[in-house]
Structures are given as C-alpha cells and as structure tokens.
Amino acid sequence: MSDDRNSYKGQTISLELYEDDISGSFSSVDQVIIFQDKEICYSTTAITLVSPGIWSITVNTDEILYIGEYHDHWVLDGGAKWVEKTFDVSVAMNTPVISTGDYGYYSKDLSYETKSNGDLYRIYNETSIAGQIEAVVMTIKGSLYNEPSHGTNIYRFLFASNTPDTADRIRLELEVQLPLQVPMIKIAKIDVQSTGYNMFTVFVNFYIVASSTPQELLSTTNLVSVEQVVGA
C-alpha cells in the first residue's frame, strides 16, 4: 500500500499512520475520523497493521462529496492521544464534478436535504433551529473539534453539589449562550425545573427573528441529565 496524500475524486485511496508521526508511546490505534473544515464527513474503524509501526485505512473518495483539503484524525489509546494529518482530493481532468449516491453528513447546527444531483442544501426552518438550540444545550463546550466556543458549561453544574441555585445557574448559562450561538432567535423565556437527582428539564420559549411570522412564539424542551450530557 501507499500513502495517497494527493488523489483524485473517485479514487479508492490508502492513508497511513507511521509510528514516527507520534510523540511518545501508545498501545492502540482505535479509529480514524476525517474532517473537511469543522465537519465530520467520514469515519472508519477498519484499521490494518501493514507492518510493524505502520497502520493503514482505505477511503473511497466518492463517499466524501467535496474536493479540497481534508484532515485525517487518528484516535489512539481510546481517545487519550491523537494525531492529525492532511490529504488533498482534486477533480481529474474530464471527470464530472458532481457525484451522486447515498451520503451521511453531520452538522452541529444545520439540517440538510439531498438534491436530485446528490448534493446537499441547507434547511432553515423551525425544526432546524430547534435542533440548533438542542445542539447547544447538549454539547459540552470544548468537545467540538476546532470550535471550542460551541456548547455550554452546564455539565459543570450537574456534577457540582446539587444546590438550590443549580437550576438558576443553568438558566443563566443558556440565557447568555443561546443568543450568541443561535443568533436568529430571540429568547422569550427559559425555565429550568428539577425532575430528579442531577436531572433537569429545560423549557426554551423563543421567536425566530428572520421568520415571516417573527411574533409567533415557539418552544423546545430538553431533558438535561448527567447521562445525556456525558453520553453514557
């Protein structure tokens, strides 16, 4: 196998990790996640030990829709360590730019639908915006690659001593973070109610500022618990 760091769209390529790429010792290579910008666009757990000190994965570039620079993020020792490398995908001469097929894409704050040509377009509606609110509420700040400001710190309140002001601290955190991270809404009210040990229900009433009916009051409800926030 060879390390295909420059390839054309439509190729099945091999990407390799070398022991020399890593500072210090490690015991396992667990997963490879491929990004373009901040978006996860491909993930694999099929990792081959080609020879001592060399690991390889195979990527079908038709499964990543766009051309450009990508980052392959190698997860080591169950996430305790990682190595990030880059590779480029370009369009071959006389090859159609548009690829079609079934793709899975993930976004922290937008909903997508597939066009007839296999490309994607973004959806800005009540469901999408409610999804953005939920993503902010349920994301631990600092856990999103390359975007440390996304999410909230409410998990700190959940793990701290459960005091009478915990609900108020969660509410204040969301009152600050939601307008910053979901700027197309205007918050009418955030109500946080304790529903059990280290468990709260968050009610968010909001207006969509850019909507054709900006005075229409909408709402979303999220159950916030230790288990959900840490993904247990």
Supply the CATH number for residue 172's domain.
Answer: 3.10.450.40
- Which regions of the chain does DSSP assign to beta strands (E)? 6-8, 12-18, 29-36, 39-44, 48-51, 54-60, 68-76, 81-90, 111-114, 120-123, 185-196, 199-208, 218-225
Q: Which of 181, 199, 201, 200 is nearest to 133 (CA)?
A: 181
Q: Is the pLDDT of residue 109 over 50?
A: no
Q: Identify whether the C-beta of residue 156 lies closer than 8 Å to the C-beta of residue 170.
A: no
Q: DSSP letters along 101-126, please?
A: S------SS-EEEE-TTS-EEEE-SH
Within a domain: residue 103? no
- pLDDT digits 0-9 by tens, 127-137: 777 878 888 88
Is residue 189 in some structural domain? yes
pTM: 0.46
Q: What is the pLDDT of residue 224?
A: 65
In a domain, 72, yes or no: yes
- Which H or E run includes 159? helix 154-159
In a domain, 119, yes or no: no
Residue 108 in any domain: the answer is: no
In a domain, 104, yes or no: no
pLDDT, one tens digit per residue, over 177-211 is 998 888 888 888 999 988 877 788 888 888 887 66
- pLDDT at residue 82 above 80? yes
How many structural domains are present in the chain? 2
Domain residue limits at 74: 6-97
